[in-house]
Structure 1
Amino acid sequence: MSFLDKQYREVITRAVCGKGRKFTQATHTISPSHRPSSILGCWVINHLYNAKKISEDTVEINGSYDINVWYSFNDNTKTEVVTERITYCDYVPLSVKDEQCIGDDFDVVAKVVQQPNCLECSISKDDHKINVEVEREFIVQVIGDTKIYVKVAPKEYAHEEDDDEWDFELTDDELKDVNPNFFPHKD
């Protein structure tokens, strides 16, 4: 079959050329000002990230978030919140790749499946620091130019109708079915 045949057309379009997914668990060590007695709470906020394609089969996601740990110290008589900014770099392998993409102009779309959140927060036994275990998950799509071939319908199947040929006037039969009391009366 020749694609130069009159029955087919080459269409160049943007399409998803690659997909990937990455789940990450990481443990971060936080250094509080005081020796902690107990952990009262831990939360992760201010997540920011961006993604770019770095090779044929890998997307790189660079991001950051803040870890806030509320802890007690001085034998549980005082409390404080310690905040630490964490930066990370995740490499997402593309599990689905389309080898038919044209050129090098790619857009990368990264979506968070699981925002970074705290799984466990504990006081380290040896050095009196705080260990925070965090999880996060992304899916990525690489969008690029690709060529598709479509079959053209023969002229006898082509419709050349437009909206001007349609009659939108109400007939007398349609008007007799209209209920004039459809809307409630205002008092």
Structure 2
Amino acid sequence: MADRDLQCREIITKAVCGKGRKFSQVSHMVSPPHAPTSILGAWVINHQYEAVKSADGIEVVGTYDINIWYSYNKNTQTDVAKETVSYVETVGLSYLDSKHRPATVEVAAEATQEPNCVEASISRSGGGVVIRVEREFSVEMVAETKVCVVVCQNCDDLADKEFEFDGGEETGEFEDLDPDLLDDELN
């Protein structure tokens, strides 16, 4: 087949045009109704969030509840303090296809590490509790973009040929591959 029979064609398709990931640690101050003597437990629950496109990447906008079980009155009584926290986490895009069509952008976020309390301590003033929370998000931007494919103008001579695509499925070549390892290298 001669090179003159080959031609490029542009196809518009939806594709992942941007990716990013961000790990963060944040501190929150919770003020229980009684001055705490000691912290008996702290946890984060009811996490809700959504992704929003921003000029600097993708913003993850969400809320979660912080619950603190504490003792007070010289360790003679206990109570649980609850506070709802709102946050906005801006996740930059480490990969961005500049040829995407901005009007078609859709964004998504996934909490790869749900917000989790890693430390709770009584504040220096003694009236509140300082909570350190870890969280991590992975974001994607999907949009229309152009891809270029090679097309054959005279493909009649290929119609009667049989093609075998050996993907290794029958021999089990790919059974030992770790898909997470491959995904990490692509990020």
What interval of TM-score do these two structures reach, taking the shorter chain for normalisation? 0.7 to 0.9
- Cα distance per residue 1:151-178 (max 9 Å; x no partner): 12422223699xxxxxxxxxxxxxxxxx
| Residues 101/80 of structure 1: CA separation in 2 closer, same or farther (3 Å cut) | same
Cα pair 2:35 2:126 within 8 Å, conserved: no
> Runs ≥4 in structure 1, deviation > 3 angstroms?
158-161
State TM-score, norm by structure 1. 0.78
Q: Which runs of 5+ in 2 are unaligned?
A: 163-187
Correspondence for 2:7: 7
Letter in structure 1 aligned against 2:61: N
Correspondence for 1:24: 24
Instruction: Write the distance in 2 (CA, Å) between the matches of 1:159 and 1:152.
Output: 18
Distance apart, 1:81 and its partner CA: 0.4
| Residues 155/125 of structure 1: CA separation in 2 closer, same or farther (3 Å cut) | same
Quick check: 1:45 aligned with 2:45? yes
> Equivalent residue of 1:104, what SS?
helix
Quick check: 1:108 aligned with 2:107? yes
Cα pair 2:18 2:142 within 8 Å, conserved: yes
Correspondence for 2:168: none
Instruction: Write the distance in 1 (CA, Å) between the matches of 2:34 and 2:160.
Output: 79
> Equivalent residue of 1:152, what SS?
strand
Correspondence for 2:35: 35
Cα pair 2:41 2:70 within 8 Å, conserved: yes
Correspondence for 1:92: 91
> Equivalent residue of 1:94, what SS?
coil
Letter in structure 1 aligned against 2:78: T
Distance apart, 1:53 and its partner CA: 1.1
**Aligned Cα RMSD in Å?**
1.8
Letter in structure 1 aligned against 2:156: K
Q: How does 1:71-82 map to 2 (within 5 A)?
A: 71-82=70-81
- Cα distance per residue 1:36-89 (max 9 Å; x no partner): 11100000000001111112x411111100000000111111110000000001
> Equivalent residue of 1:156, what SS?
helix
Correspondence for 2:179: none
Q: Which runs of 5+ in 1 are unaligned?
A: 162-187
- Cα distance per residue 1:11-36 (max 9 Å; x no partner): 11100111111111111000001111
- Cα distance per residue 1:74-111 (max 9 Å; x no partner): 11111100000000011111111111112421110111
Letter in structure 2 aligned against 1:69: I
Instruction: Write the distance in 2 (CA, Å) between the matches of 1:134 and 1:114.
Output: 11
Instruction: Write the distance in 1 (CA, Å) between the matches of 2:136 and 2:160.
Output: 49
| Residues 155/127 of structure 1: CA separation in 2 closer, same or farther (3 Å cut) | same
Q: Work out which of the two has the higher radius of gyration on C-alpha atoms and give 1 or 2.
A: 1
